[in-house]
Structure 1
Amino acid sequence: MTLIASEPVSDDRDIPFLPLALGLAGLAPFIALALTIALGGSGAAGFDPASALLAYGAVVLSFLGGAHWGLALRHPSPDIRTALYLGAALPPLWAVAGLLLGGAVGLGMVAVGLAAQGAVDGLRSGRFAAPRWYGRLRALLSALAAVATAAAAVVVASQQM
């Protein structure tokens, strides 16, 4: 399997450096915003860190749905393609519901969405044209993002009481 035509991967169980590095970099906003919320701070220039975390989580869920849309495009079976397309549409719809509800409930929804998408990615690892390493990478990233977002939801909920 190749990620890019000029970049052969000898064993698709090993997570390539670039997806790992970019994935870990993508965790920085989850962790930084959750810590800002937990420490009671406000963001630079006075932005609301809870709203920023909610928006970032929604963007990530939409991105993950798009990744599954890409898997659907490559599948030869029309029935499986249909199921993959439907599954790909769920994360962004879930994220929009979280954005509309906002606050602790919205953050909780995004945390659940991230955890659920991590589980789905694990199940699809090595299937539907996804390399085997994808599930391991997504499990790690989804777990950390979901925990950070859930912790922020708990703090925001306690502030709303």
Structure 2
Amino acid sequence: MQTPIRSTGWFVHHEYLRDIGLKAAHWGFCKDLRGTAQISSRTPLPCPRQNAIFGHNLARGQHVDLSFHAQSPPMIPRAALTLGLAGLLPFVYGLATILSPGLAEATIRAIGPRFAGQYVLIAYGTVILCFMSGVLWGFAARGAEQAWTGYALSVAPALWAFFFVGGGATQALAALLTGFVVLLVIDQQFTLWGLTPRWWMKLRLMLTSGVALCLAGGLWLG
């Protein structure tokens, strides 16, 4: 008689798991108490450590929580979300100094003209575009199969900033705006390769929207 291992809304047949042992992290047929759901044999769990623990516990017949297989949207870690949103502040401040001549004048008197108006948008935007090249390089280092393509794409934002951000404020802002839009496409490609965290595109869409809005505002109003 098969003894089910019960968890939060799920159960898995013990005899089947005993046959596949530690490979239960990648293979399995789970039945929901309210229906059925197939776990693909080609879809690993979120990380190798979880794979090992999951398969080990199931093979031993221990109770486990399979609720993470539900297709719930990935949560952005609080640290990444907080620091990412904080990174938008210089963009927002630069746009604010364009909209408010008084704020721009006070900023220039206090800390200098390079921290106001289009200047701060261009300088900080260039820094962030180059910073994202470093982030993508780190992702590329994880993908052996896409090594050459991944590394080439990762340096593209920095090279774009080096060659095209210049020639006056209008041209520089237009180049940055284009660069951040293309960067989002590269982010999506790295996500399709499975090299980014599951929540990565959710965060990148949010931050890129904020950056693009500020750059477009600076381009239009500056």
Q: TM-score if structure 2 supplies the norm length?
A: 0.60
Q: Which amino acid aligns with 1:36?
A: T
Counterpart of 1:13 in structure 2 is 74
The alpha carbon displacement at 1:22 in A equals 0.4
Report how many aligned residue pairs link the two structures: 147
Q: What are the equivalent positions in structure 2 for 1:27-66 lying under 5 Å apart?
A: 27-40=88-101, 41-42=104-105, 43=107, 44-48=110-114, 49=116, 50-66=118-134
Over 3 Å counting, the alpha-carbon distance change for 1:136 and 1:123 in structure 2 is farther
How far did residue 150 of structure 1 move?
Answer: 1.3
- The structure-2 alpha-carbon separation of the partners of 1:152 and 1:127, relative to structure 1 and needing over 3 Å to count, comes to same
Query: CA–CA distance in 2 between the matches of 1:131 and 1:12?
Result: 12
* Equivalent position of 1:5 in the other structure: none
Give the Cα–Cα distance (whole angstroms) in 2 for the partners of residues 39 and 95 of structure 1: 28
Structure 1 distance, partners of 2:89, 2:216, is 15
Map 1:90-109 onto structure 2 (within 5 A).
90-109=156-175
Task: Provide the rounded CA distance (Å) in 1 between the counterparts of 2:99 and 2:160.
Answer: 25
Q: Which runs of 5+ in 2 are unaligned?
A: 1-45, 48-67
Residue pair 1:122, 1:139 contacting (<8 A) in 2 also: no
Any conservation in 2 of the 1:37–1:155 contact (CA below 8 Å)?
yes
Q: Does 1:153 align with 2:219?
A: yes
Q: Work out which structure has the larger RCO, using CA pairs closer than 8 Å and 6 or more positions apart in sequence.
A: 1
Q: Is the 8 A contact 1:30 1:145 kept in 2?
A: yes
| CA-CA distance at 1:119 after TM superposition | 3.0
Aligned to 1:84: 150
Indicate how the Cα distance of structure 1 residues 39 and 97 shifts in structure 2: closer, same or farther if over 3 A, else same.
Answer: farther
Q: CA deviation at 1:111?
A: 1.4
Instruction: Report which of the two has the higher share of helix.
Output: 1
CA distance in 1, matches of 2:126, 2:89: 15
Bigger Cα Rg: 2
Q: Report the CA distance between 1:98 and its aligned residue.
A: 4.1
Q: TM-score, normalised by structure 1?
A: 0.81
Q: CA RMSD in A?
A: 2.0
- In structure 1, stretches of 5+ residues that fail to align are 3-9, 157-161
Give, in whole Å, the separation in 1 of the partners of 2:168 and 2:150.
28
Give the conservation status (yes or no) of the 8 Å contact 2:75–2:199: yes
